[in-house]
Amino acid sequence: MNQEEAKKKIKMLSTQLEEHNYSYYMLNTSIISDFDFDMLMKELIDLEQDFPEFASINSPTKRVGGEVSKGFKTIEHKYPMMSLDNTYSIEEIRDFDTRVRKRLDEAEIGGSDLLRYVCELKYDGVAIGITYKNGEMVQALTRGDGVSGDDVTANVRTINSIPLVLKGTDFPAEFEIRGEIYFPHKAFAELNKLREEEGEPTFANPRNTASGTLKMKDSAEVAKRNLNCFLYSLSGADLPYDNHYDNLMAIKEWGFKLPYVISKPTDIEGVASFINEWDVGRKNLEYDIDGVVFKVNLKRLQEILGFTAKSPRWAISYKFKAERASTVLNSISYQVGRTGAITPVANLEPVLLAGTVVKRASLHNADQIARLDIRLNDTVYVEKGGEIIPKIIGVILEKRPSGSTPTEFISTCPICSTTLKQKEGEVAHYCPNEDGCPPQIKGKIEHFIARKAMNIDGIGEETIELLYDKKLIADVSDLYTLRYEDLIELDRFAEKSVQRLLDGIESSKQITFEKVLFALGIRFVGETVAKKLATHYLSIESIRAASLEELVEVEEIGEKIAESVVRYFGDEASAALVQRLQAHGLQFKMIESDLELKSEKLKDLSFVVSGVFETYSRDELKAEIEANGGRNASSISAKLDYLIAGDKMGPSKLEKANKLNISIISESDFNKMIT
């Protein structure tokens, strides 16, 4: 593969993975199996290693996860909730063991002689981190994006298997315990039976229902659903033992529900036996699992092994092969995404698979249809690994009806009939009618009102759908023309909800210029780029007047971004939209208070912030850097002045900073610099 091909492939994979991340973490749906997601991620990791010059600082490979849900208070995790690398074969398990032993031997402490693993089941639920102080629960956070999570303490308190007050007295004064909240099969079946009796639609699967339940606003309703929880790890300064297994045994004495199945094999072959045992035994469990997790037992060996940007090097999960079934493809429909991307969906003869009835499956794109040669009335294999929308993995050719013809991908948008296009380097087909195609218009409005943009309270996807269908809004500027009389007559709107929405819209007029610029949805202008442009040009008029050459001169603004900005402001419809928003009173220039500095003590200095800190969150620390004239860099390079190192900082950053002779300072050192 040459450089140009690699560049295009990296861009395509990054776009796909971000979309799947958003669907899974924000919408609680998935259009791709775990295996396929992991294979895409592995392909991107390999390409970025071979062609590091094309690896973006915002690559999905750097992410722990995706974004934090709206609607609950967002709090930063004291200990980041990282994800685990996945394997799918016993050979990969043995490779992992070899890597671990090599690292420990290189540390020259005889670590591999002390190596033991702890095996646990991988529960298919919702990750939770619960903090206890002086023996009482004080906080419960969802995973969120791994750095910050949603405060769901009130709902977690309703789960009977989670103690509110601990037993005994030998627990640490403060610690965090993590686990998985799940729906037992019996409770899930009873819930669906009740919904059937009440004439309501049944839920698709336990995992997504547990996730939705945990985000319900009424904790009394949560209590009725009989959620359960297994706890499987402990974090804190004064843990009772120096190893994972004994700490797990200790939590039983404090009143926690320990998983029923935990093993401590003597070698990697014992791990393989555990995997084989539960690949069969999982069918008899009262809850869902999708694999096995195994971890290095001794804490000091874990510290030596450290972390990658995404996951610990001392733990890994083995994921079971997804279940499959065969059924008939009745028809193919086409969906239009918020970016205009067209996704084909197979409508199937209903078939029971992994405990739920499957009626639809993702076909992904035209290339996938052509590769599998999928045709109407084919008998196909469908695979599902826990997601709502499974995928077709093959065709049973011997059952193909005579006279069948190859599937032709549509050439026009199924919603607005515009001729479809393909963007260079991408396999997806797109509808280019971004200002006239309803799904794209509604998608832009959803982006505009999002928490990281205008943060308009009281409005969501369903409300946007309703307002658009009632012709009350046709673009984001129409939100500012909504009146009480327009809304009070609509379904699901009462006086309180109408006022909340109108107050949210009015409050958004005070949102700062950089967030307004991000909310416009200019292609390639994310949060960081919007802030760079806003602080450099200070007003929308100055950005609009800037040439391509001038934009490229701005720090971190490349040619691709500059071209997109020039294109946006050269478009008549976009320019008219900005004028309407200006007339409604939105902030389109930086105000003096946003530009005032506390000092210039950090002028011309650049910083990278990494780890967990005592007196600051990472965002607060970055704000202090900018408030004192410094600059936040996106990655460690030879041009960096300082790395501010907190607790639990990833070893790779530390290693790179040392290699480049970057000054590494503590939180205390930083405070001395600005006081």
Just list the catalytic residues: 122
**Backbone CA torsion sign across 438, 442, 448, 454:** positive
Contacts of 643 (CB under 8 A, 6+ apart): 607, 608, 610, 636, 653, 654, 657, 662, 663, 664, 665
Rounded (10°) CA dihedral 68, 558, 515, 569: -130
What count of other Cβ atoms lies within 10 Å of the Cβ of residue 308? 15
Q: Which of 665, 660, 547, 551 is nearest to 610 (CA)?
A: 665
- 3-class DSSP state for residue 455? coil
**Neighbouring-strand partners of residue 431:** none
Cβ atoms 431, 16 nearer than 8 A: no
Q: Which of 33, 31, 11, 12 is nearest to 22 (CA)?
A: 31
Helix axis angle, 572-583 to 559-570, nearest 10°: 70
**Backbone CA torsion sign across 494, 495, 496, 499:** positive
CA-CA distance, 316 to 331, in Å (whole number)? 40
**Phi, psi for 422 (deg, rounded to 5):** -115, 130
Please write down the HEC assignment for all residues of 244-260: HHHHHHHHHHCCCCCCC
Cβ atoms 207, 126 nearer than 8 A: yes
Contacts of 407 (CB under 8 A, 6+ apart): 332, 369, 374, 375, 376
- Per-residue CA distances from 105 to 111, 240, 305 (Å): 6, 27, 11
- 3-class DSSP state for residue 51? coil
Q: How remote is the C-alpha of 93 from its chain's centroid?
A: 26
Burial class (CB in 10 A: 0-12, 13-18, 19+), 357: exposed
CA-CA distance, 236 to 617, in Å (whole number)? 18
CA-CA distance, 456 to 464, in Å (whole number)? 12
End-to-end CA gap in the chain: 53
Q: How remote is the C-alpha of 22 from its chain's centroid?
A: 6
CA-CA distance, 377 to 481, in Å (whole number)? 49
DSSP labels, 305-361: H-B-SSSBTTEEEEEPPPEEEEEEEEEEEEEE-TTSBEEEEEEEEEEEETTEEEEEE
Cβ atoms 183, 209 nearer than 8 A: yes
For 528, the enclosing helix (H) or strand (E) is helix 527-537
Q: Which residue has the tokens 């004080």?
A: 138
